[in-house]
Amino acid sequence: MPSQGTIGDRVRGLRLNRRMSQAQLAGPDLSDSYVSLIESGKRTPTPVVARLLAERLGCTTEFLLHGIEPRQRIDTELGLRHAELELQHGDPVVAAERYTEIVKAADEENAMLTAQARFGRARALEAQGRLGQAVEAFERLRREAAAHPERLADLPLTIALSRCYQRAGDRLRARDLAVRALEQAERMSITQGEIAVDLAAVLVEARGDREGHSAELDYVKKVLDLSEAPDDVDRSGEVRSLWQASNAAAAGEDSALAVRLADDAINAGRQRRLALQLARTAMHWARLATAPIDEAERLVEQAARTFGAHPGNEREHGESLIAHARVRLRADDLVRAGELASQALDLLRDVPGTATAEAHLLHATVAIGLGGDPSAHLGAAHTLLAGRNRQPFGSDRPAARCWRELGDLYGQVADRAQQTAAYRKALEAAGVRSMLAGLTADSTVSR
């Protein structure tokens, strides 16, 4: 049975195989000119017309519309769901392999399923930290979405690209894409659900901590106000059980049941994904210097509870405690800020990244404010930052921020040599390297 790319190709191929004229296929219900328009790709048959044509051509409606038989399609749908479960709850490397297998098998038989698999593979690359490859994949998909909006939605792609560029250190590109995504979302009044929460996250992450009021932050606040944090219930056991049951059903060749069970597993994990993304957005909002203290306190406490309730999120839990400590510093509550920084250090001792250094910087700030000796914490932060591997892409914004803060603190204790060295490191981490030779930095670069 022919299965060339378009509906028109399949209609024409099946008609010619059955030695029917366009008028014979049209019958009393349609015109032969309408059949001609379908075959040339200038018209897409409605579901009613597709069922009628499929009956006369001796094929299924599924085949006519999508180019594959029902069993083949349901197996592809099942493969997509199992790849999604692997991405969300398993190994992103395995997820990427499964998505790639679907792309190869589906080929051009069903452009929509193939596009979904390619989108999944791009997300799996992002989850592995292979940002360069992920960006290339997302960019190709965006071009395809522009040409074929019936296959792919542009908005999730734009949000994903903004997130990747942000992680890669290209903050300007990330922000530009986030603003474009916001324009699309506002045209469609999208303020709730996963897309809205994902968009709010990239919008607030692309903002500087000290930037003022903006339309982007208005949207973030609206999403936070409208989106109630889901109950902190660990449903990982339920997800695993349903996933295993889906695998068992697939092994018994009950594909329809396997798809249903996989859908149940995905939906069971959705609450956790949404809760964590809302917590990330709330945490970044609380870090903004312009956020009202009471509101920032409420949001960051909520974020810390969410991260603390889900195993495996020690790094983000520690980061939320650090964000809370900064809110308390803004409120001149030095003692509480120090307590939160200590809690963060307990969580982050074996976790790589800049968060541990930031907790030491907070302790140093508290020590200076209380008239104590910050030297131990300044030295610990310096050691951690100096031993950090440089980002492979562009700037390393978290490290640049920490080096700058370390320079500020060295300035407060009048250690000018260390202050200059820290500011130099801040510039290097920000990607400013070519003109550093012979540069004498001073406190003006800290802002």
Q: Where are the domains of the chain?
A: 7-66, 70-238, 371-447
Measured distance CA(163)–CA(41) in Å, rounded:
37
**Neighbour tally for 380: CB within 10 Å:** 18
Q: What is the pTM of this model?
A: 0.75
11-15, 89-93, 354-358: least confidently modelled range: 11-15
Q: Write the Ramachandran bin of 45: left for phi over 0, alpha for psi from -120 to 50, otherwise beta.
A: beta
Q: At what angle do helices 92-106 and 111-127 cross, to 10 degrees?
A: 160
366 by Cβ neighbours in 10 Å (0-12 / 13-18 / 19+) ranks as: buried
Query: What's residue 389's pLDDT?
Result: 63
Query: What's residue 5's pLDDT?
Result: 67
Chain mean position to CA 432: 28
Measured distance CA(133)–CA(136) in Å, rounded:
5
Mean of pLDDT values over 265-271: 90
How confident is the model over 115-159, as pLDDT tens digits? 899 999 999 999 999 999 999 999 999 998 888 887 788 999 999
Query: What's residue 365's pLDDT?
Result: 95
- Residue 288 near residue 296 (C-beta atoms within 8 A): yes
- Residue 203 near residue 217 (C-beta atoms within 8 A): yes
- Residue 86 near residue 61 (C-beta atoms within 8 A): no
Measured distance CA(140)–CA(75) in Å, rounded:
26
Residue 367, both tokens: 């020590």
Measured distance CA(324)–CA(307) in Å, rounded:
13
- Residue 200 near residue 183 (C-beta atoms within 8 A): no
Residue ranges of alpha helices (H) inside 6-153 are 7-17, 22-26, 32-39, 47-57, 61-66, 70-89, 92-106, 111-127, 131-147
Q: Where does the pLDDT of residue 69 fall: very low under 50, low under 70, confident under 90, or very high at 90 and above? A: low
Query: What's residue 351's pLDDT?
Result: 77
Residue 113: phi, psi to the nearest 5?
-65, -40
Closest CA to 424 of 441, 443, 405, 408: 441
State the CATH architecture for 70-238.
Alpha Horseshoe (1.25)
How confident is the model over 150-189, as pLDDT tens digits? 778 899 999 999 999 988 878 889 999 999 999 999 999 9
**Torsion over CA: 395, 397, 401, 403 (sign):** negative
Q: Which residue has the higher pLDDT, 345 or 395?
A: 345
Long-range CB contact pairs, 399-405, < 8 A, 24+:
399/354, 399/429, 400/426, 400/427, 400/429, 400/430, 401/209, 401/354, 401/426, 402/354, 402/357, 402/358, 402/361, 403/429, 404/445, 404/446, 405/358, 405/361
Query: What's residue 446's pLDDT?
Result: 33
How confident is the model over 47-62, as pLDDT tens digits? 889 888 988 887 778 7
Residue 109, both tokens: 């038989």
Query: What's residue 265's pLDDT?
Result: 94
Enter the CATH code of domain 7-66. 1.10.260.40
C-alpha neighbours within 13 Å on the C-beta side of residue 151? 22
Mean of pLDDT values over 400-412: 93
- Residue 195 near residue 169 (C-beta atoms within 8 A): no
Q: At what angle do helices 355-369 and 375-386 cross, to 10 degrees?
A: 160
Q: Over the chain, what is the mean pLDDT?
A: 86
C-alpha neighbours within 13 Å on the C-beta side of residue 342? 8
Measured distance CA(217)–CA(29) in Å, rounded:
55
pLDDT at 9 over 90: no
Query: What's residue 434's pLDDT?
Result: 38
C-alpha neighbours within 13 Å on the C-beta side of residue 378? 24
Query: What's residue 110's pLDDT?
Result: 65
Q: Is 51 helix (H, G, I), strand (E, B) or coil?
A: helix
22-36, 203-217, 240-254: least confidently modelled range: 203-217
Distances (CA, A) of 439 to 281, 385, 407, 420, 435: 38, 21, 15, 10, 8
Q: Where does the pLDDT of residue 361 fall: very low under 50, low under 70, confident under 90, or very high at 90 and above? A: very high
How confident is the model over 313-341, as pLDDT tens digits? 889 999 999 999 999 999 999 999 999 99
**Neighbour tally for 306: CB within 10 Å:** 25
How confident is the model over 195-233, as pLDDT tens digits? 999 999 999 988 766 666 678 889 999 999 888 765 556
